[in-house]
Structure 1
Amino acid sequence: MRNFIVSIIAIILGLIAGGILMLLIGSNPIDGYLYLFQGALKNISRIGDTLATATPLVFTGLSVAFAFRTGLFNIGASGQMLIGGLCATAVGLTYDFSRPILLLMMIFAGLLGGALWALLPGLLKAKFNVHEVVSTIMMNWIAYWTVYYIVPGYFKGEFLETESKKLPDAATLKVPFLTEMFQGSYINLGIFIAVIAVIIVAFIINKTTLGFELKAVGFNRHAAEYAGMHVNRNIILSMLISGGLAGLAGVALYAGNASTIQIGILPSAGYDGIAVSLLGANTPVGVFFAAILFGILYSGTGFMNAMTEIPPELANTIIAIIIYFAATSILIERVIKRFWKTRSSKEVVVPDVKKGES
């Protein structure tokens, strides 16, 4: 409950700061936010696009949050996304099975690709105590150049060398009933997979021995080792699961929101996952709703810019401010505690002492 209150306060403060910025550039903040939220939620089609935009962020947020639980900072979600998306695209362009089997194969390939890409940083951390921030950043750029080489070499598009062939309809997460329900939106099955992932991760963290051990390692590695827990194994397993979740984000992005994979682009959703995890207090449910908020801000930016003179970069600024306040949650908690302490002291009633009584 405390984390929820802190996140809400961070969002409110971020929106207030964004409104002040709008005033400074001579725009009306009420109109700005009105058009921003209309752009994301005005009709069923825009709602579908917002959910689709948020879907990869759910996976990358879960990825970062899961690693955080073991005291690890997985900053390599972008590279794991790329490899997961590349593996899923390769399966979709290579095989011609029935759609359910093909989609399951693509999802598994994306999950496995992302997990294996996170394996090396996990091993380096467990065996040699190499800091995961350094190793995962390097793996991001290895993934970048791997995709840069493989896509034009083996899956080159018909018209552009900078992107892969277009996935056939049977190899995408788009389904007619969702497209029709959301009036042409690019929402796809990825949102359902994301909800399932949230439930599974929440169950693992809160209801299993593995989740307890992962949290114990995150709180105090040496104490967990002294208690007989396999610290190195848990570190590697945590990175595998974290990478697999990021790989699913690649499947959702390249086989759901899009139908091709482009070279020369390191997906920003991987880094946005850090912000989503932080705002969601590293909890699966919190991550889901934080991703939805980010989806609203990103989806509504274009409409806000079209209807006003407010630059689209303002949405990124608002997100940055929200994350800043979320990162300084300790200060917000202190303010809340001081407020409640002051209020409680004022409510203390001192009984009257009657004079003359013994």
Structure 2
Amino acid sequence: MGIILKKRLKRPGIYHHFIPVVSILLSLGIGAILFLVSGVNPVIAYIEIFKGSFGSLYNFSEVLVRATPLIFCGLAVGIAGKMQLWNIGAEGQLVMGGITGTGVGLFIAPHFPAFLGIFLMLIAGFIGGGLWGLLPGILRARWRVSEIITTLMLNYVAIIWMEHLYFGPWRDPEGRGFPGTAVLAESLQLPRFWGTRIHAGLFIALAFALVIMWIFSFTRWGYKLRVIGENAKAAGYAGIPINRNIILVMFLSGALAGLSGIIETAGIHYRLQQGLAVGSGYVGIIIAWLSGLNPLATIAVSILLGALMTGGDQIQIVMHVPSSIGLVLEAIILFCVIGGKVFSNYTLSFRRGNP
């Protein structure tokens, strides 16, 4: 018996809303089975995840702190995805942004007024991540080298370079053996609000999401990028410069991820250290898929996954379940939503005999 997938010529409007809801409910059901296998009551587990994320204003503030780098990385992957470019390197680009921004913060920015120093750090992180995305963009545009492979490989290069710096020449001599750079000057640390760890980076991320939404919805350049993504051959016939836009978009994609790196450094850690590369770039791939490459949906999905991470810490404390269960739930949600999109766009039929 063979399985045949046929693309739907017309998709009913209800599919647009119904299938994603069913997909998420299915993922929660699979997650419940996972909890049962682990010897945990799934109802109590989900309640604890909710309480750990939204049970108090402080808990919710921690969700927003977790969501901030995810928004940047989701936007980074999403803007490339609009052109059918698959940036798997947001993690490395985040690290490069942290490296270049911290370098400016340690050696250059202290000689400038505080506001200008912070601005220089952010610009350095933006450019550092952008250059790390530019190289795969050039290779893809000029020689058709897969950006999936090059961006993935560059992740490891960036992480190893970061480790070399904070274990070696940038290591804080007064760090008592702790692997990390010196702490950034207090004047160069991003301001926090309302007595929480919410910092200015959250509002920068929201602003970028709105700007990207405006670009793709209301500008000619955004329209050209969407045309390239939908049909590159037709875009070429229409005179749209494909290679130039590939290079530019890969730079911007890397730059957004790089910005998240220096914002995490200046807003949370205050130094370059272990813990900067914690998988936010890879989670950004999940966010881009779940949001359908929509910048505003990226914000909502980032908060959802930030809640799962924060709630995962809660059930680790209360129910003695590994906090990584939150990451497992993220993966389950991703597979269910992708599967739902398959059934939304295709009809499934069976045929006897060999296909």
CA distance in 1 between partners of 2:85 and 2:340 (Å): 20
Which runs of 5 or more structure 1 residues have no equivalent in the other structure?
A: 339-358
Opposite residue 160 of structure 2, the aligned amino acid is W
What is the match of residue 142 of structure 2?
127
1:145 equivalent in alignment to 2:160: yes
What is the match of residue 75 of structure 1?
88
The offset of 1:154, in angstroms, is 3.5
1:221 equivalent in alignment to 2:195: no
Q: State the percentage of identical aligned residues.
A: 33
1:168 equivalent in alignment to 2:185: yes
What is the match of residue 234 of structure 1?
245
Among residues 27, 36, 41, which one is paired with 1:28 in the alignment? 41
Higher mean alpha-carbon deviation, 209-218 vs 227-236, is at 209-218
The offset of 1:146, in angstroms, is 2.0
Higher mean alpha-carbon deviation, 315-324 vs 258-267, is at 258-267
CA distance in 1 between partners of 2:160 and 2:327 (Å): 27
Aligned length: 331
Among residues 70, 75, 81, which one is paired with 1:57 in the alignment? 70
Q: How does 1:294-333 map to 2 (within 5 A)?
A: 294-333=305-344
Opposite residue 157 of structure 2, the aligned amino acid is I
Q: Secondary structure at the match of 1:72?
A: coil
1:154 equivalent in alignment to 2:169: yes
What is the match of residue 285 of structure 1?
296
Among residues 19, 39, 46, which one is paired with 2:52 in the alignment? 39
Opposite residue 171 of structure 2, the aligned amino acid is K
CA distance in 2 between partners of 1:138 and 1:27 (Å): 38
Distance 1:81 1:151, change over 3 A: same
**Contact 2:261 / 2:276 at 8 angstroms: preserved in 1?**
no
1:103 equivalent in alignment to 2:118: yes
CA distance in 1 between partners of 2:289 and 2:53 (Å): 23
1:244 equivalent in alignment to 2:242: no
What is the match of residue 353 of structure 1?
none
What is the match of residue 346 of structure 1?
none
1:212 equivalent in alignment to 2:223: yes
Structure index of larger Rg: 1
**Contact 1:39 / 1:303 at 8 angstroms: preserved in 2?**
yes
Among residues 256, 272, 285, which one is paired with 1:261 in the alignment? 272
**Contact 1:10 / 1:323 at 8 angstroms: preserved in 2?**
no
Q: Which string of whole-angstrom CA distances, capped at 9 and with x for unpartnered residues, describes residues 7-31 of structure 1? A: 4333222122111222233321111
The offset of 1:263, in angstroms, is 5.0
Opposite residue 110 of structure 1, the aligned amino acid is G
CA distance in 1 between partners of 2:261 and 2:137 (Å): 20
Which runs of 5 or more structure 2 residues have no equivalent in the other structure?
A: 1-12, 349-355
**Contact 2:74 / 2:284 at 8 angstroms: preserved in 1?**
yes
Q: RMSD value over aligned CA atoms? A: 2.0
Q: Which string of whole-angstrom CA distances, capped at 9 and with x for unpartnered residues, describes residues 51-91 of structure 1? A: 01010000000000100001100001011000101111112
CA distance in 1 between partners of 2:302 and 2:62 (Å): 13
**Contact 2:52 / 2:311 at 8 angstroms: preserved in 1?**
yes
CA distance in 2 between partners of 1:145 and 1:45 (Å): 35
The offset of 1:150, in angstroms, is 2.8
Q: Which string of whole-angstrom CA distances, capped at 9 and with x for unpartnered residues, describes residues 255-274 of structure 1? A: 21221222597430011100
Opposite residue 172 of structure 1, the aligned amino acid is Q
Higher mean alpha-carbon deviation, 90-99 vs 319-328, is at 90-99
